[in-house]
Structure 1
Amino acid sequence: MRRILVTGATSGIGRALVEKLARTDEVICIGRNADALKALSQIPNVVEAVSCDLSDSVACRNLTEGRDIDVLVNNAGALPSSSGFADLPPEAINTMIDVNFRAVMHLTQGALRQMQKKGRGHIVFVGSSAGLFPHPGATVYGATKAATSLFADALRAELAEWRIRVTEVAPGRTRSDLYREAIGAGASGQLYDEYEPLEPSDVADAIAYALNVPDHVDVSRIEIMPIGQVAGGGRTIKKSEMKQTS
Protein backbone atom coordinates (compact mmCIF):
# COMPACT_ATOMS: atom_id res chain seq x y z
CA MET A 1 0.00 0.00 0.00
CA ARG A 2 1.45 3.36 -1.03
CA ARG A 3 1.54 6.39 1.24
CA ILE A 4 0.44 9.52 -0.64
CA LEU A 5 0.74 13.11 0.60
CA VAL A 6 -1.82 15.50 -0.92
CA THR A 7 -1.67 19.27 -0.39
CA GLY A 8 -4.78 21.41 -0.71
CA ALA A 9 -6.74 18.37 0.44
CA THR A 10 -9.71 20.07 2.09
CA SER A 11 -11.71 21.11 -0.98
CA GLY A 12 -12.05 20.85 -4.73
CA ILE A 13 -9.61 18.63 -6.60
CA GLY A 14 -7.71 17.75 -3.42
CA ARG A 15 -10.79 16.56 -1.56
CA ALA A 16 -11.99 14.52 -4.55
CA LEU A 17 -8.54 12.99 -4.91
CA VAL A 18 -8.31 12.01 -1.25
CA GLU A 19 -11.70 10.31 -1.39
CA LYS A 20 -10.62 8.36 -4.47
CA LEU A 21 -7.11 7.39 -3.39
CA ALA A 22 -8.08 6.38 0.15
CA ARG A 23 -9.96 3.41 -1.29
CA THR A 24 -6.62 1.72 -2.06
CA ASP A 25 -3.81 3.76 -0.50
CA GLU A 26 -2.84 5.48 2.72
CA VAL A 27 -3.24 9.24 2.45
CA ILE A 28 -1.74 12.19 4.34
CA CYS A 29 -3.97 15.25 3.94
CA ILE A 30 -2.52 18.77 4.13
CA GLY A 31 -4.77 21.84 4.35
CA ARG A 32 -5.80 24.86 6.40
CA ASN A 33 -9.50 24.34 7.18
CA ALA A 34 -9.62 22.65 10.59
CA ASP A 35 -13.21 21.39 10.24
CA ALA A 36 -12.53 19.95 6.79
CA LEU A 37 -9.35 18.27 8.01
CA LYS A 38 -11.27 16.72 10.91
CA ALA A 39 -13.83 15.33 8.46
CA LEU A 40 -11.08 13.94 6.22
CA SER A 41 -9.45 12.22 9.18
CA GLN A 42 -12.56 10.06 9.54
CA ILE A 43 -12.07 8.53 6.07
CA PRO A 44 -10.59 5.01 6.25
CA ASN A 45 -6.91 4.98 5.17
CA VAL A 46 -6.44 8.70 5.87
CA VAL A 47 -3.51 8.29 8.24
CA GLU A 48 -2.94 11.99 8.99
CA ALA A 49 -4.78 15.28 8.45
CA VAL A 50 -2.32 18.10 9.05
CA SER A 51 -2.89 21.85 9.19
CA CYS A 52 -0.12 23.82 7.47
CA ASP A 53 0.39 27.29 6.05
CA LEU A 54 2.23 26.54 2.82
CA SER A 55 3.47 30.11 2.56
CA ASP A 56 5.79 29.22 5.46
CA SER A 57 8.88 27.61 3.88
CA VAL A 58 10.07 26.08 7.16
CA ALA A 59 6.66 24.50 7.77
CA CYS A 60 6.72 23.08 4.23
CA ARG A 61 10.06 21.42 4.77
CA ASN A 62 8.91 20.00 8.09
CA LEU A 63 5.99 18.25 6.38
CA THR A 64 8.31 15.71 4.77
CA GLU A 65 10.47 15.14 7.88
CA GLY A 66 9.79 11.82 9.59
CA ARG A 67 7.03 10.86 7.15
CA ASP A 68 7.39 7.97 4.72
CA ILE A 69 6.09 9.31 1.39
CA ASP A 70 5.78 7.22 -1.78
CA VAL A 71 3.80 9.80 -3.77
CA LEU A 72 3.65 13.58 -3.43
CA VAL A 73 0.74 15.43 -5.03
CA ASN A 74 1.43 19.17 -5.15
CA ASN A 75 -2.17 20.28 -5.51
CA ALA A 76 -2.56 23.37 -3.32
CA GLY A 77 -2.95 26.67 -5.14
CA ALA A 78 -3.72 30.29 -4.35
CA LEU A 79 -5.37 33.03 -6.42
CA PRO A 80 -6.20 35.75 -3.88
CA SER A 81 -6.95 38.47 -6.43
CA SER A 82 -8.04 38.72 -10.07
CA SER A 83 -6.96 42.36 -10.41
CA GLY A 84 -4.92 43.49 -13.37
CA PHE A 85 -1.21 43.30 -12.66
CA ALA A 86 -0.80 47.07 -12.14
CA ASP A 87 -3.40 46.96 -9.35
CA LEU A 88 -2.38 43.63 -7.82
CA PRO A 89 -1.67 44.01 -4.07
CA PRO A 90 1.92 43.10 -3.15
CA GLU A 91 0.69 40.57 -0.57
CA ALA A 92 -1.30 38.79 -3.32
CA ILE A 93 1.83 38.54 -5.48
CA ASN A 94 3.78 37.10 -2.55
CA THR A 95 1.04 34.61 -1.64
CA MET A 96 0.85 33.21 -5.17
CA ILE A 97 4.61 32.87 -5.46
CA ASP A 98 4.89 31.33 -1.99
CA VAL A 99 2.04 28.80 -2.26
CA ASN A 100 2.04 28.00 -5.98
CA PHE A 101 5.79 27.78 -6.52
CA ARG A 102 8.06 28.18 -3.48
CA ALA A 103 6.13 25.62 -1.39
CA VAL A 104 6.24 23.19 -4.30
CA MET A 105 10.05 23.48 -4.43
CA HIS A 106 10.50 22.77 -0.72
CA LEU A 107 7.98 19.94 -0.54
CA THR A 108 9.34 18.29 -3.67
CA GLN A 109 12.93 18.45 -2.47
CA GLY A 110 12.08 16.87 0.87
CA ALA A 111 10.01 14.08 -0.67
CA LEU A 112 12.55 13.49 -3.45
CA ARG A 113 15.38 12.82 -1.03
CA GLN A 114 13.30 10.03 0.51
CA MET A 115 12.39 8.62 -2.89
CA GLN A 116 16.01 8.52 -4.04
CA LYS A 117 16.95 6.50 -0.96
CA LYS A 118 14.16 4.01 -1.75
CA GLY A 119 14.83 4.01 -5.49
CA ARG A 120 11.21 4.68 -6.39
CA GLY A 121 8.49 7.31 -6.10
CA HIS A 122 6.11 9.60 -7.95
CA ILE A 123 5.79 13.38 -7.86
CA VAL A 124 2.64 14.99 -9.25
CA PHE A 125 2.13 18.67 -9.98
CA VAL A 126 -1.39 20.00 -10.45
CA GLY A 127 -0.81 22.81 -12.93
CA SER A 128 -3.29 24.84 -14.91
CA SER A 129 -4.21 25.87 -18.43
CA ALA A 130 -3.18 29.33 -17.17
CA GLY A 131 0.40 28.07 -17.18
CA LEU A 132 0.11 26.99 -20.81
CA PHE A 133 -1.48 30.05 -22.41
CA PRO A 134 -2.23 33.58 -21.16
CA HIS A 135 -5.25 34.43 -19.06
CA PRO A 136 -5.94 38.15 -18.41
CA GLY A 137 -6.33 38.69 -14.68
CA ALA A 138 -4.10 35.74 -13.89
CA THR A 139 -0.67 37.12 -14.76
CA VAL A 140 1.17 36.07 -11.61
CA TYR A 141 -0.90 32.93 -11.08
CA GLY A 142 -0.18 31.85 -14.66
CA ALA A 143 3.51 32.66 -14.26
CA THR A 144 3.76 30.45 -11.17
CA LYS A 145 2.04 27.59 -12.98
CA ALA A 146 4.27 28.03 -16.04
CA ALA A 147 7.33 27.95 -13.78
CA THR A 148 6.06 24.77 -12.15
CA SER A 149 5.50 23.19 -15.57
CA LEU A 150 9.08 23.86 -16.65
CA PHE A 151 10.34 22.68 -13.27
CA ALA A 152 8.49 19.39 -13.78
CA ASP A 153 10.09 18.90 -17.20
CA ALA A 154 13.59 19.71 -15.91
CA LEU A 155 13.13 17.47 -12.86
CA ARG A 156 11.96 14.58 -15.02
CA ALA A 157 15.11 14.89 -17.14
CA GLU A 158 17.31 15.11 -14.05
CA LEU A 159 15.73 11.96 -12.61
CA ALA A 160 15.98 9.86 -15.77
CA GLU A 161 18.36 7.38 -14.10
CA TRP A 162 16.03 6.89 -11.15
CA ARG A 163 12.73 5.01 -11.00
CA ILE A 164 10.97 8.18 -9.90
CA ARG A 165 8.09 9.37 -12.04
CA VAL A 166 7.11 13.01 -12.58
CA THR A 167 3.65 13.99 -13.81
CA GLU A 168 2.02 17.33 -14.49
CA VAL A 169 -1.77 17.47 -14.74
CA ALA A 170 -2.93 20.77 -16.25
CA PRO A 171 -6.71 21.26 -16.10
CA GLY A 172 -8.77 24.00 -17.64
CA ARG A 173 -11.69 25.62 -15.88
CA THR A 174 -12.65 23.44 -12.92
CA ARG A 175 -15.46 23.96 -10.44
CA SER A 176 -13.63 24.79 -7.21
CA ASP A 177 -13.16 27.40 -4.50
CA LEU A 178 -9.97 28.80 -6.07
CA TYR A 179 -11.62 31.96 -7.38
CA ARG A 180 -13.82 32.60 -4.35
CA GLU A 181 -11.26 34.82 -2.63
CA ALA A 182 -10.42 36.64 -5.85
CA ILE A 183 -13.97 37.25 -7.10
CA GLY A 184 -16.16 36.78 -4.05
CA ALA A 185 -19.55 35.16 -3.55
CA GLY A 186 -20.44 35.61 -7.23
CA ALA A 187 -17.61 33.39 -8.43
CA SER A 188 -19.87 30.42 -9.07
CA GLY A 189 -22.24 32.38 -11.28
CA GLN A 190 -19.54 34.17 -13.23
CA LEU A 191 -17.35 31.17 -13.87
CA TYR A 192 -19.44 28.03 -13.77
CA ASP A 193 -23.22 28.37 -13.95
CA GLU A 194 -23.42 29.39 -17.62
CA TYR A 195 -20.61 27.06 -18.67
CA GLU A 196 -19.85 23.37 -18.49
CA PRO A 197 -16.68 23.21 -16.37
CA LEU A 198 -14.67 20.23 -15.28
CA GLU A 199 -15.67 18.75 -11.95
CA PRO A 200 -13.00 18.08 -9.30
CA SER A 201 -13.62 14.35 -9.71
CA ASP A 202 -12.69 14.60 -13.41
CA VAL A 203 -9.24 15.90 -12.51
CA ALA A 204 -8.91 13.42 -9.64
CA ASP A 205 -9.60 10.59 -12.11
CA ALA A 206 -6.81 11.87 -14.39
CA ILE A 207 -4.34 12.00 -11.50
CA ALA A 208 -5.34 8.53 -10.32
CA TYR A 209 -4.81 7.19 -13.84
CA ALA A 210 -1.26 8.57 -13.91
CA LEU A 211 -0.53 7.05 -10.50
CA ASN A 212 -1.80 3.60 -11.43
CA VAL A 213 -0.14 2.89 -14.77
CA PRO A 214 2.49 0.11 -14.79
CA ASP A 215 5.82 0.89 -13.13
CA HIS A 216 7.68 1.22 -16.43
CA VAL A 217 5.29 3.95 -17.65
CA ASP A 218 5.70 7.63 -16.81
CA VAL A 219 2.70 9.78 -17.74
CA SER A 220 4.59 13.04 -18.17
CA ARG A 221 1.71 15.47 -18.76
CA ILE A 222 -2.07 15.38 -18.97
CA GLU A 223 -3.97 18.40 -20.28
CA ILE A 224 -7.66 18.10 -19.46
CA MET A 225 -10.15 20.70 -20.67
CA PRO A 226 -13.92 21.21 -20.61
CA ILE A 227 -15.30 20.53 -24.06
CA GLY A 228 -16.17 24.24 -24.44
CA GLN A 229 -12.68 25.53 -23.62
CA VAL A 230 -9.83 25.38 -26.10
CA ALA A 231 -6.21 26.21 -25.29
CA GLY A 232 -5.20 29.24 -27.32
CA GLY A 233 -8.78 30.04 -28.24
CA GLY A 234 -10.22 33.49 -27.73
CA ARG A 235 -13.41 32.54 -25.94
CA THR A 236 -15.03 30.02 -23.65
CA ILE A 237 -18.31 28.69 -24.98
CA LYS A 238 -21.50 28.88 -22.91
CA LYS A 239 -23.73 25.85 -22.90
CA SER A 240 -26.48 27.90 -24.56
CA GLU A 241 -24.11 28.66 -27.48
CA MET A 242 -23.16 25.07 -28.19
CA LYS A 243 -24.67 23.43 -31.24
CA GLN A 244 -27.20 20.74 -30.46
CA THR A 245 -27.74 17.61 -32.54
CA SER A 246 -31.04 15.84 -32.82
Structure 2
Amino acid sequence: MTISSYTTALVTGASSGIGEAVARTLAERGLNIIAVGRDAESLARLQAETGAVPIVCDITDRAALAAKLNGFEIDVLVNNAGVLSASVPFHDLPADSIDAMIDVNLRAAVHLTQYCLPGMMARNRGHIVFIGSSAGLTPHPTATVYGATKAAISSFAQALRLDLLGRAIRISEVAPGRVETRLYRDALGLEEAQRRLYDDYSVLQPQDLATLIETVLDMPQHVDVSRMEIFPTTQAVGGGQIVKNL
Protein backbone atom coordinates (compact mmCIF):
# COMPACT_ATOMS: atom_id res chain seq x y z
CA MET A 1 0.00 0.00 0.00
CA THR A 2 1.91 3.03 -1.27
CA ILE A 3 1.13 6.73 -1.06
CA SER A 4 -1.12 6.40 -4.10
CA SER A 5 -3.37 4.10 -2.03
CA TYR A 6 -4.09 6.88 0.46
CA THR A 7 -6.28 9.95 0.09
CA THR A 8 -5.88 12.19 3.14
CA ALA A 9 -3.01 12.88 5.55
CA LEU A 10 -3.29 14.68 8.88
CA VAL A 11 -0.07 16.41 9.95
CA THR A 12 0.30 18.06 13.35
CA GLY A 13 2.73 20.85 14.05
CA ALA A 14 2.36 21.85 10.40
CA SER A 15 2.97 25.57 10.94
CA SER A 16 6.72 25.20 10.52
CA GLY A 17 9.71 22.88 10.52
CA ILE A 18 9.26 19.14 10.05
CA GLY A 19 5.47 19.30 9.98
CA GLU A 20 5.39 21.93 7.27
CA ALA A 21 7.97 20.04 5.19
CA VAL A 22 5.98 16.81 5.51
CA ALA A 23 2.72 18.54 4.58
CA ARG A 24 4.28 20.09 1.48
CA THR A 25 5.96 16.85 0.40
CA LEU A 26 2.81 14.75 0.75
CA ALA A 27 0.72 17.42 -0.98
CA GLU A 28 3.11 17.24 -3.93
CA ARG A 29 2.40 13.50 -4.04
CA GLY A 30 -1.31 14.18 -4.42
CA LEU A 31 -2.60 13.67 -0.90
CA ASN A 32 -5.20 15.94 0.62
CA ILE A 33 -3.55 17.54 3.65
CA ILE A 34 -5.13 18.49 6.96
CA ALA A 35 -2.60 20.82 8.56
CA VAL A 36 -2.92 21.32 12.31
CA GLY A 37 -0.95 24.04 14.07
CA ARG A 38 -1.11 27.19 16.15
CA ASP A 39 0.20 29.79 13.68
CA ALA A 40 -2.78 30.91 11.62
CA GLU A 41 -0.70 33.02 9.25
CA SER A 42 1.69 30.17 8.41
CA LEU A 43 -1.18 27.72 7.91
CA ALA A 44 -2.95 30.19 5.64
CA ARG A 45 0.19 30.43 3.51
CA LEU A 46 0.44 26.64 3.42
CA GLN A 47 -3.19 26.47 2.30
CA ALA A 48 -2.62 28.99 -0.48
CA GLU A 49 0.44 27.15 -1.77
CA THR A 50 -0.62 23.50 -1.37
CA GLY A 51 -4.39 23.42 -0.92
CA ALA A 52 -4.03 22.07 2.62
CA VAL A 53 -6.98 22.39 4.96
CA PRO A 54 -5.75 24.56 7.86
CA ILE A 55 -6.88 23.77 11.39
CA VAL A 56 -5.74 26.35 13.91
CA CYS A 57 -6.12 24.61 17.23
CA ASP A 58 -4.48 23.80 20.54
CA ILE A 59 -3.67 20.14 19.99
CA THR A 60 -4.18 19.41 23.69
CA ASP A 61 -7.86 20.44 23.43
CA ARG A 62 -9.25 17.05 22.42
CA ALA A 63 -12.87 18.10 22.10
CA ALA A 64 -12.13 21.15 19.95
CA LEU A 65 -9.79 19.22 17.67
CA ALA A 66 -12.22 16.31 17.29
CA ALA A 67 -14.99 18.74 16.32
CA LYS A 68 -12.81 20.29 13.61
CA LEU A 69 -11.77 16.88 12.26
CA ASN A 70 -15.32 15.54 12.09
CA GLY A 71 -16.14 14.23 8.63
CA PHE A 72 -12.57 13.67 7.42
CA GLU A 73 -11.41 10.16 6.49
CA ILE A 74 -7.78 10.14 7.59
CA ASP A 75 -5.50 7.55 6.00
CA VAL A 76 -2.14 8.90 7.18
CA LEU A 77 -1.48 10.48 10.57
CA VAL A 78 1.85 12.19 11.22
CA ASN A 79 2.17 12.92 14.95
CA ASN A 80 4.81 15.63 14.72
CA ALA A 81 3.76 18.41 17.11
CA GLY A 82 6.20 18.74 19.98
CA VAL A 83 7.64 21.18 22.48
CA LEU A 84 10.94 21.49 24.34
CA SER A 85 9.91 24.08 26.87
CA ALA A 86 13.30 24.79 28.41
CA SER A 87 16.83 23.46 28.18
CA VAL A 88 17.71 23.37 31.88
CA PRO A 89 18.48 20.69 34.48
CA PHE A 90 15.41 18.96 35.88
CA HIS A 91 15.62 20.65 39.28
CA ASP A 92 15.28 24.04 37.55
CA LEU A 93 12.44 23.00 35.23
CA PRO A 94 9.19 24.92 35.87
CA ALA A 95 6.14 22.80 36.61
CA ASP A 96 4.19 24.26 33.69
CA SER A 97 7.02 23.29 31.33
CA ILE A 98 6.81 19.70 32.57
CA ASP A 99 3.06 19.67 31.96
CA ALA A 100 3.40 21.23 28.50
CA MET A 101 5.88 18.63 27.28
CA ILE A 102 3.82 15.73 28.61
CA ASP A 103 0.58 17.16 27.24
CA VAL A 104 1.84 17.97 23.74
CA ASN A 105 4.54 15.39 23.09
CA LEU A 106 2.76 12.39 24.59
CA ARG A 107 -0.84 12.81 25.66
CA ALA A 108 -2.02 14.66 22.54
CA ALA A 109 -0.36 12.16 20.19
CA VAL A 110 -1.90 9.19 22.02
CA HIS A 111 -5.40 10.68 21.99
CA LEU A 112 -5.21 11.76 18.35
CA THR A 113 -4.05 8.28 17.37
CA GLN A 114 -7.02 6.78 19.17
CA TYR A 115 -9.32 9.23 17.38
CA CYS A 116 -8.00 8.26 13.92
CA LEU A 117 -7.72 4.50 14.40
CA PRO A 118 -11.40 3.45 14.17
CA GLY A 119 -11.70 4.86 10.64
CA MET A 120 -8.45 3.23 9.57
CA MET A 121 -9.60 -0.08 11.00
CA ALA A 122 -12.97 0.15 9.27
CA ARG A 123 -11.29 0.83 5.90
CA ASN A 124 -8.41 -1.56 6.71
CA ARG A 125 -5.77 0.87 5.53
CA GLY A 126 -3.63 3.49 7.15
CA HIS A 127 -0.20 4.58 8.29
CA ILE A 128 0.63 6.31 11.57
CA VAL A 129 3.99 8.07 11.90
CA PHE A 130 5.42 9.31 15.19
CA ILE A 131 8.24 11.83 15.32
CA GLY A 132 10.38 10.67 18.21
CA SER A 133 13.90 11.78 19.10
CA SER A 134 17.35 10.46 19.80
CA ALA A 135 16.68 11.83 23.30
CA GLY A 136 14.02 9.15 23.70
CA LEU A 137 16.54 6.40 22.97
CA THR A 138 19.64 7.70 24.80
CA PRO A 139 19.80 10.06 27.81
CA HIS A 140 20.58 13.66 26.90
CA PRO A 141 21.52 16.31 29.49
CA THR A 142 18.89 18.97 30.23
CA ALA A 143 16.30 16.88 28.37
CA THR A 144 14.95 14.77 31.20
CA VAL A 145 11.21 15.25 30.69
CA TYR A 146 11.45 15.81 26.95
CA GLY A 147 13.43 12.58 26.60
CA ALA A 148 10.95 10.75 28.82
CA THR A 149 8.03 11.81 26.61
CA LYS A 150 9.87 10.66 23.49
CA ALA A 151 10.82 7.36 25.14
CA ALA A 152 7.15 6.86 25.97
CA ILE A 153 6.18 7.60 22.36
CA SER A 154 8.70 5.01 21.16
CA SER A 155 7.29 2.36 23.49
CA PHE A 156 3.72 3.29 22.59
CA ALA A 157 4.41 3.02 18.86
CA GLN A 158 5.96 -0.43 19.19
CA ALA A 159 3.15 -1.73 21.42
CA LEU A 160 0.51 -0.26 19.10
CA ARG A 161 2.05 -2.14 16.22
CA LEU A 162 1.54 -5.36 18.19
CA ASP A 163 -2.12 -4.49 18.78
CA LEU A 164 -2.62 -4.01 15.03
CA LEU A 165 -0.75 -7.03 13.69
CA GLY A 166 -2.59 -8.59 10.76
CA ARG A 167 -4.27 -5.35 9.72
CA ALA A 168 -3.18 -3.17 6.82
CA ILE A 169 -2.27 -0.35 9.20
CA ARG A 170 1.41 0.40 9.57
CA ILE A 171 3.17 2.13 12.45
CA SER A 172 6.48 3.96 12.04
CA GLU A 173 8.63 5.98 14.42
CA VAL A 174 11.24 8.45 13.18
CA ALA A 175 13.88 9.25 15.82
CA PRO A 176 16.11 12.07 14.54
CA GLY A 177 19.22 13.64 15.97
CA ARG A 178 19.73 17.37 15.72
CA VAL A 179 17.32 19.07 13.31
CA GLU A 180 17.25 22.78 12.55
CA THR A 181 13.74 23.68 13.68
CA ARG A 182 11.96 26.05 16.06
CA LEU A 183 12.04 23.40 18.77
CA TYR A 184 15.46 24.49 19.97
CA ARG A 185 14.85 28.13 19.21
CA ASP A 186 11.82 28.13 21.51
CA ALA A 187 13.90 26.52 24.26
CA LEU A 188 17.06 28.61 23.90
CA GLY A 189 16.10 31.70 21.93
CA LEU A 190 16.91 32.33 18.28
CA GLU A 191 20.44 33.72 18.63
CA GLU A 192 21.54 31.27 21.33
CA ALA A 193 20.20 28.28 19.41
CA GLN A 194 22.00 29.44 16.29
CA ARG A 195 25.27 29.92 18.15
CA ARG A 196 25.20 26.75 20.25
CA LEU A 197 23.55 24.28 17.91
CA TYR A 198 23.75 25.31 14.26
CA ASP A 199 26.76 27.55 13.55
CA ASP A 200 29.77 25.39 12.67
CA TYR A 201 27.68 22.19 12.67
CA SER A 202 26.12 20.06 9.97
CA VAL A 203 22.56 19.36 11.09
CA LEU A 204 19.48 17.74 9.62
CA GLN A 205 16.94 19.87 7.80
CA PRO A 206 13.16 19.35 8.04
CA GLN A 207 13.07 18.26 4.39
CA ASP A 208 15.44 15.38 5.20
CA LEU A 209 12.81 13.89 7.50
CA ALA A 210 9.98 14.65 5.07
CA THR A 211 11.82 12.76 2.34
CA LEU A 212 12.39 9.81 4.65
CA ILE A 213 8.71 9.70 5.66
CA GLU A 214 7.69 9.87 2.01
CA THR A 215 9.92 6.87 1.29
CA VAL A 216 8.48 4.88 4.19
CA LEU A 217 4.90 5.58 3.11
CA ASP A 218 5.82 4.41 -0.37
CA MET A 219 7.06 0.98 0.74
CA PRO A 220 5.03 -2.08 -0.38
CA GLN A 221 2.23 -3.13 1.96
CA HIS A 222 4.14 -6.14 3.27
CA VAL A 223 6.93 -3.86 4.54
CA ASP A 224 6.53 -2.12 7.89
CA VAL A 225 9.44 0.17 8.73
CA SER A 226 8.88 0.27 12.46
CA ARG A 227 11.70 2.59 13.59
CA MET A 228 14.17 4.86 11.82
CA GLU A 229 17.07 6.68 13.43
CA ILE A 230 18.41 9.53 11.33
CA PHE A 231 21.44 11.65 12.25
CA PRO A 232 23.74 14.21 10.69
CA THR A 233 27.01 12.63 9.59
CA THR A 234 28.69 14.60 12.40
CA GLN A 235 26.52 13.11 15.15
CA ALA A 236 27.08 9.66 16.63
CA VAL A 237 24.34 7.05 16.65
CA GLY A 238 22.50 7.50 19.93
CA GLY A 239 22.93 11.26 19.69
CA GLY A 240 25.31 11.55 22.62
CA GLN A 241 28.09 13.27 20.68
CA ILE A 242 28.10 15.76 17.84
CA VAL A 243 31.25 17.37 16.44
CA LYS A 244 31.82 20.60 14.56
CA ASN A 245 32.44 20.67 10.84
CA LEU A 246 36.05 19.96 9.90
Q: Which residue of 1 aligns with 2:234?
A: 228
- TM-aligned CA deviation for residue 83 of structure 1: 1.3
SS in 2 for 1:41: helix
Q: Which residue of 1 aligns with 2:116?
A: 111
One of 145, 160, 163 as aligned partner of 1:158: 163
String of CA shifts for 1:64-106, please: whole Å, max 9, x gaps.
4321100000011101111110010000000000000000011
Aligned residues: 239
Q: Which residue of 2 aligns with 1:198?
A: 204
Equivalent residue letter for 2:77? L
- TM-aligned CA deviation for residue 194 of structure 1: 1.6
Instruction: Output the CA distance in 2 between the equivalents of 1:150 and 1:61.
Output: 25
One of 178, 181, 186 as aligned partner of 2:183: 178
- TM-aligned CA deviation for residue 233 of structure 1: 6.3
Stretches of structure 1 lacking an aligned partner (at least 5 in a row): 241-246
Equivalent residue letter for 1:182? A
Q: Which residue of 1 aligns with 2:34?
A: 28
Instruction: Output the CA distance in 1 between the equivalents of 2:239 and 2:99.
Output: 29
Would the alpha carbon gap of residues 89 and 119 (structure 1) be closer, same or farther in structure 2, given more than 3 Å must change?
same
1:50-65 to 2 correspondences below 5 Å: 50-65=55-70
Q: Which residue of 2 aligns with 1:5?
A: 10
- TM-aligned CA deviation for residue 218 of structure 1: 1.1
Instruction: Output the CA distance in 2 between the equivalents of 1:106 and 1:222.
Output: 23
- TM-aligned CA deviation for residue 223 of structure 1: 0.7
Q: Which residue of 2 aligns with 1:80?
A: 85
Q: Which residue of 1 aligns with 2:224?
A: 218
The runs of at least 4 consecutive aligned structure 1 residues that moved more than 4 Å come to none
Q: TM-score, normalised by structure 1?
A: 0.93
Percent of aligned pairs with the same residue?
Answer: 51
Instruction: Output the CA distance in 2 between the equivalents of 1:217 and 1:234.
Output: 30
- The answer to whether the 8 Å contact 2:135/2:239 transfers is no
1:143 aligns with 2:148: yes
Stretches of structure 2 lacking an aligned partner (at least 5 in a row): 1-5
- TM-aligned CA deviation for residue 124 of structure 1: 0.5
- The answer to whether the 8 Å contact 2:134/2:238 transfers is no
1:229-244 to 2 correspondences below 5 Å: 229-232=235-238, 234-240=240-246
String of CA shifts for 1:122-171, please: whole Å, max 9, x gaps.
10001110101011011100000000000000000110021100000111
Instruction: Output the CA distance in 2 between the equivalents of 1:38 and 1:233.
Output: 35
With a CA cutoff of 8 Å and minimum separation of 6, indicate the structure with the bigger relative contact order.
2
Q: Which residue of 1 aligns with 2:45?
A: 39
- The answer to whether the 8 Å contact 1:22/1:43 transfers is no
- TM-aligned CA deviation for residue 234 of structure 1: 4.7
SS in 1 for 2:175: strand
Q: Which residue of 1 aligns with 2:3?
A: none
Instruction: Output the CA distance in 1 between the equivalents of 2:212 and 2:238.
Output: 22
- TM-aligned CA deviation for residue 181 of structure 1: 1.8
Structure with the largest fraction of helix? 2
Q: TM-score, normalised by structure 2?
A: 0.93
SS in 2 for 1:201: helix
Instruction: Output the CA distance in 2 between the equivalents of 1:198 and 1:231.
Output: 14
- The answer to whether the 8 Å contact 1:167/1:219 transfers is yes
